[in-house]
Structures are given as structure tokens and as C-alpha cells.
Amino acid sequence: MTDCIEFQDLGSMDYKIAWEYQEEIFKKRVNQKLINRESSEASRVFLKDKLLFVEHPHVYTLGKSGNRDNLLIQDDFLKQIKASYYHIDRGGDITYHGPGQIVAYPVFDLEHFGIYLKQYVFGLEECIIQTLSEFNITAQRMDGATGVWLDSDTADARKICAIGVKASRYITMHGLAFNVNTKLDYFNYINPCGFVDKGVTSLQKELGKEQDIQFVKTILKNKIISYFHALKD
């Protein structure tokens, strides 16, 4: 089924507006799944999985079990740097979203792909690793930490993509944040993902020049769709 995932690029959108839009899609799919379980086979409605891409204005988000102390600045300084802050319902600790970063929100029913949440996170990481390989960058996972890293087993370990997800009845929301042309200075105001001894990087920093983010989006979109389609075949 080559059309089982619908893709939508939201462009640049305020975090709260995108969160509410994503949550609307998520709840619709959860509710439909519950209805289907009480319906005859002939009357069941199956909604396609949805892949959203978006760029956010400067914002910090803290996962449901994260530590607020990992945001190193006060509310008045947040205003000075034109950033907002949200405590949200995904896993993981604190992270930053901003211009030049691809944020992907897959609203997927994992039962469509025959996988569990851990395998899903592995798949998102794999799609980023494959995308980076298109730019001749070798990336890895790190034991005990989600996301995608460069030089993960060295003192120079640095994260290029953060991942934090939520799932209910095997339907996912939230997702990944891939640093392409991201202003990395904004990470100085947090302990990224709760780490105090690890760095962050971007595609621009690693390659030494600004990247065509639309080109990167196309590669990443194709990697995600291809990877998850292959699980269904």
C-alpha cells in the first residue's frame, strides 16, 4: 500500500497551534479505533496514518517526566530571546524547537505496521541515520539515550536529532526534531534532553554551510514513508 501515509507540510507554525492540530488528528484516530472495535467488519472506517512536518518559532518543550530545572533561564529572559515554553505530554526531558529545524509529527497507528513503541522509536532513528548518510555523515544511536548522535562513543558526542513520543492505543503523536540550519545558541539555555555533558549539532554546522531545508525535507519524508511502508509489505 503506497498510499497509506498522508503527508502534510505545515510550514512555519506556532507550537501551540500545531500541537492542537496534531492532537485533533490523534484523538480522531483513537476514537475511530474504539468505534471500529464495536462495529461490524463491513461498517468499520480506517483512517490513513498522517505525517506532519513543521518549523516552529523559538520554543522550549519539557516532557511529562522532565525536570524543569533543565531550563536554565527565567521567564523574563525567555521574552528577551523571543522564546516560549510548554510542559507537554510526550516522553523525554527538555528540548528546543526553532527556525531551521525540521520537526516531524507522525500520527501513526503502530498496529498498521506490526510494531511496538520501542521498535517505532528505532525506526524514526533509522530514518534520520539514513537521511544523514545521503550527506556522507555517519550517525549512530547511543545506549541509554534516544535520538541520533554523531561520534556517540567519544568525548565529542553530539546530538543532531531529538526524539520524544507519546502513544495511546498504539497511536502515536509528537515525534522528532532534526537540526538542519538551527540556531544552536538557543541550546545554551537548557540541558538538552537532560544531559549536562553532551553537545548538540546541526547539518549546517557539520557540512560548513547553510542547507536547502526543502531538499532535506524531501529526503527525510521519503525515508520515513519508505521505511514504514516496507513494514506493511
Distance CA 41, CA 38 (A): 9
From CA 86, how far away is CA 62, in angstroms rounded?
A: 6
What is the 8-class DSSP label of residue 123?
A: H
DSSP 155-181: TT-EEEEEEEEEEETTEEEEEEEEESS
The DSSP element (H or E) to which 140 belongs, if any, is strand 140-142
Distance between start and end Cα atoms, the chain: 7
HSE-CB of 70 using CA atoms within 13 angstroms? 21
Tell me what pLDDT residue 45 has.
87
- pLDDT, residue 197, reads 60
Helix (H), strand (E) at residue 231? helix 213-232
User: What pLDDT is attached to residue 91?
Assistant: 77
Per-residue model confidence (pLDDT) at position 66: 81
pLDDT per residue as tens, the chain (233 positions): 346 899 999 999 999 999 999 999 999 999 999 999 889 888 888 899 999 999 999 999 988 878 888 888 888 899 999 999 988 888 778 889 999 999 999 999 999 999 999 999 999 999 999 999 999 999 999 988 899 999 998 989 999 999 999 999 999 999 999 999 999 999 998 886 656 567 899 999 999 999 999 999 999 999 999 999 999 86
- Using alpha carbons, select from 66, 76, 178 the residue that is nearest to residue 131: 178
Q: Tell me which residues are annotated as active site.
A: 193
Domain count of the chain?
1
Q: What is the pLDDT of residue 2?
A: 43
The cell for 206 is: 557539520
Give Dmax (Cα) for the chain. Answer: 58
Return the pLDDT at 69.
84
The CATH number covering residue 133 comes to 3.30.930.10
Number of neighbours of residue 143 by Cβ within 10 angstroms = 7
Q: What is the DSSP letter of 61?
A: E
Q: Check residue 195 and give its pLDDT.
A: 60
For residue 39, what are the domain limits?
5-232
Grid coordinates representing 109 are 497507528
Other CB atoms within a 10 A radius of the CB of residue 137 amount to 15
